[in-house]
Amino acid sequence: MKIYRNVSDFSPLSNTAVTTGTFDGVHCGHKVILNRLRNAAASVNGSTVLITFDPHPRMVLHPEANTDLKLLNTTDEKIALLEKEGIDHLVIIPFTRQFAETTGEEYIRDILVKRIGVRKLVIGYDHRFGKGRGASFKDLVEMAPEYGFEVEEIPALEIDDSAVSSTKIRKALLNGEIEKANEKLGYAYSISGLVVKGHQLGRTIQFPTANIQPLEPLKMIPARGVYAAEVLFEDKAWPAMVNIGTRPTFNGEEEKIEAHILNFEGDLYNKTISIRFITRIRDEQKFDSVDALKNQLQADRTKTLDIFKLTAY
């Protein structure tokens, strides 16, 4: 897959099948669109082109109203997922207030036609674009003959039947329904971060943890609680129990992401790791004593081992 960080870097091609959108999550609903895109490209013996935006348009247009907007993917994660989907060309347009002034017709004429060379445009029935999101699917159908391309609509039924949206996935994560989120994503939700020094309280109770500082501040964090997960480091996956919360037993206030990696020995400080969430074990709890916490952590460890079908030692 070829990646372009600006539409001006793209040299027009003939017979391209194009789609456009934020594609946050690259989830099962998006895959309906991507499958249609690949088929459209094959029908004209051409290439697939996906146009997306960075940062998320809502962050630029309504920053005051979107302080709580969280993303399912970092840009790098989105790139990796789209590459797995067999996209030929990925164009990432820097979304600015100036770009937001582009009218619907300017977007079609100057970007889709002149810059990309669109032959087929694959788009959802409810797609809106251009300044103030003022242009609709109807406008695309009306302008297509003039500019020499075809519009292939993905009807409501085909998209809605997938019962998947980025909003539904975010809601599942906020509720701690990690298995539901993973099902809708089509893969295990993950967070990448730098391992930083914490208060090292885990060491004092024989459950040392790697404290994770997410690489992307806008990345969606699942609900507080304890999760069975995999930690990816140096191309190897390690089973882990991950706590998201404030450590109420120790009267903590700041939310932390801490991973106790099973059967792992080594120094991870200042290393980048990824946490791949598998299932939620329990809610965050405040225990009456440190001993009670240790007993629960041992039970969590046993349950995690069972999830991964491992033998404790």
Domain with CATH 3.40.50.620 in the chain: 2-164
> How many C-beta neighbours within 10 Å does residue 46 have?
20
Q: Is 244 helix (H, G, I), strand (E, B) or coil?
A: strand
CATH superfamily assigned to domain 2-164:
HUPs (3.40.50.620)
Phi, psi of 124 (to 5 degrees): -75, 155
pLDDT at 94: 95
In this structure, are residues 154 and 161 in contact, taking their beta carbons and an 8 Å threshold? no
pLDDT at 56: 87
Task: Write the CA distances from 218 to 22, 52, 72, 106, integer angstroms.
Answer: 15, 18, 9, 31
Report the DSSP pairing between strands 89-94 and 2-4.
parallel
pLDDT at 98: 94
* Predicted confidence pLDDT, tens digits, the chain (313 residues): 999 999 999 999 989 999 998 999 999 989 989 999 999 999 999 999 999 999 988 888 877 765 678 999 999 999 999 999 999 999 999 999 999 999 999 999 999 999 999 999 998 777 888 888 888 888 898 999 999 999 998 876 565 555 578 889 999 999 999 999 999 999 999 999 999 987 666 565 668 889 999 999 899 999 999 999 999 998 899 999 999 998 887 777 789 999 999 988 888 889 999 999 999 999 998 888 888 888 999 999 999 999 998 655 4
Percent helix, percent strand, percent coil in the chain, to nearest 5: 35, 30, 35
Domain with CATH 2.40.30.30 in the chain: 182-307
pLDDT at 153: 84
In this structure, are residues 184 and 168 in contact, taking their beta carbons and an 8 Å threshold? yes
* Total residue count of the chain as it appears in this document: 313
| Of 52, 56, 129, the residue nearest 93 (C-alpha) | 52
Region of 107 on the Ramachandran plot (φ > 0 left; ψ -120 to 50 alpha; else beta): alpha
182-307 to CATH, choices 3.40.800.20, 2.60.40.10, 2.40.30.30, 3.40.50.620: 2.40.30.30
pLDDT at 313: 41
Q: Distance between alpha carbon 288 and the CA centroid of its chain, in Å?
A: 38
Q: Is 172 helix (H, G, I), strand (E, B) or coil?
A: helix
* Tokens 């997960």 belong to residue: 229
pLDDT at 185: 96
